[in-house]
Structure 1
Amino acid sequence: MRILLPPLALMSLLLSGAIFGFFYAWVCSTMWGLDQADPNVAIEAMQAMNASVRNGVFAPAFFGTPFVLLLTAFVAYRAQRTHAALCFGVGGLIYLFGGLILTMAVNVPMNEALAVVETPLSPEQAQQIWSDYSAPWQVWNQIRTGFSGLTLLLTGLGLFALPQRAA
C-alpha cells in the first residue's frame, strides 16, 4: 500500500494544481477580457468555450481531482500517515463540494442558459444578457477558485506531511 502513496500524492498535486489554474485563469484574464469585448462577441466566445471544455483533457482534472485526493487520503491513512490523510481527505471533500458540485449546480446551468441565446442581438439586448450572465458567473467562479486554491494548499500540506527518506 505504501508504494502507491508517492505517485498518488503527486497525481493529487497535479490534478489540484490543474483545476485551480483553470479556474484562476477565468478570474484573472478570460472573463475580464470578455467583459471588454463587444457583448455579442463575448456571448459567442463564451458559448464556444463552454462547448469546447467538455473534452478528455479537461475531464481528469475536473472530475477526477476529488476522487484521486480521497483515494490518496485512504492510502495515506492505511500507511499510518494520518496528518497527510487528513489533508488529502479534507482537500478532496472541499473540491468535491466547492468545485465540482458547485460548478454542476450553478455555473453549468448558467452556461446552458447562455448556450441557447442566438446572436447577433441588438447592442442593448446583448449588453443586458452579457451583464446578467457575466457578473454572477464571475462571483461563483471566484468562489470555486477559492475552494480549489484551498484544495491545492491542503494537497501541498499533505505532501509535506509525508515522511522524508533518509539521505
Structure 2
Amino acid sequence: MIDGPYFVLTVLGAVACGLVAGVFIGFSTFVMKGLAALPPAQGVAAMQAINVAAVKPAFMAVFMGATGVSAVLAVVTFVVWPDEGTVELLLGCALYLFGCFGVTVAANVPRNDALAKVDPASEHGAEYWRTYVTEWTMWNHIRTAAATAATVCLVLGLT
C-alpha cells in the first residue's frame, strides 16, 4: 500500500499530469482549429503570442512540476518497490517523461522556435503556417494521449 509522503507525491503527479493533459487537449480540440481558421498572418501572430505566454510561470510551474514529480516518483518507486502498483507508477512516469516532456522538447518546441522566426505577413510565414498547424497539432495529440495515460496509470498505481 502506498502511503505517507509517497502517496502525496503520487497524487501530486497524477494531478499535475492531468492538468497538463487538460491544457493540451484544449489545444488539440479547439485552439488550433480556431487558429487554423484565421487568415495565415493572424494565425501565425496569435500562435507566436501564445508561445510567448506559455513559457511564463503559471503554465511552466505545472508542466515542469509534472516533469520533476514524474522523475522523482520514478526514482522513489525503484527504491521503495511497492508490493502493488509498481508497473503502473513506472509506466505513468515514463509516459509523461518521454511521451509528454520528451515530445515537447523534440517536436513541439523546435516548431515553435521556427514559427517565432517567421514574419506573419510574409508568404514564407503563410507556407510555414500550413505545415506548422498540421505537424504541431499531430505532436500535440501525442502529448495529450501520453499525459492522459500517465494520469490514469498513476491513479491506478494508487488503487
Structure 1 residue 48 and structure 2 residue 34: aligned? no
Matched with 2:58 is 57
> Which sections of structure 2, spanning at least 5 residues, go unmatched?
none
Corresponding position of 2:29:
28
The alignment-based identity, stated in percent, is: 28
Within 5 Å, give how 1:1-167 maps onto structure 2: 2-75=3-76, 81-121=82-122, 125-160=124-159
Asked whether the 8 Å contact 2:95–2:146 carries over to 1, the reply is yes
Per chain length, whose mean CA-contact separation is higher, i.e. which structure has more relative contact order (CA < 8 Å, sep 6+)?
A: 2
Check whether the contact 1:67–1:92 (CA below 8 A) recurs between aligned residues.
Answer: no
Q: 1:70 to 1:132 in 2, by over 3 A?
A: closer
Q: CA RMSD in A?
A: 2.1
Task: Note the alpha carbon deviations across 1:124-149, whole angstroms, 9 max, x for none.
Answer: x5542211111111111111111111
Higher mean C-alpha displacement, 92-101 vs 79-88: 79-88
Q: Distance in 2 between matches of 1:153 and 1:102?
A: 19
Classify the secondary structure of the residue corresponding to 2:55: coil
Q: Which amino acid aligns with 2:46?
A: A
How many angstroms does 1:2 deviate by? 4.3
Q: TM-score, normalised by structure 1?
A: 0.84
Task: Please state how far the C-alpha of 1:155 moved relative to its aligned partner.
Answer: 1.3
Q: Distance in 2 between matches of 1:5 and 1:73?
A: 11
Compare 55-64 and 88-97 and name the one that shifted more: 55-64
Deviation at 1:4, TM superposition (A): 0.5
Q: So what's the TM-score if we normalise by structure 2? A: 0.87
Task: Work out the CA distance in 2 between the residues paired with 1:116 and 1:143.
Answer: 25
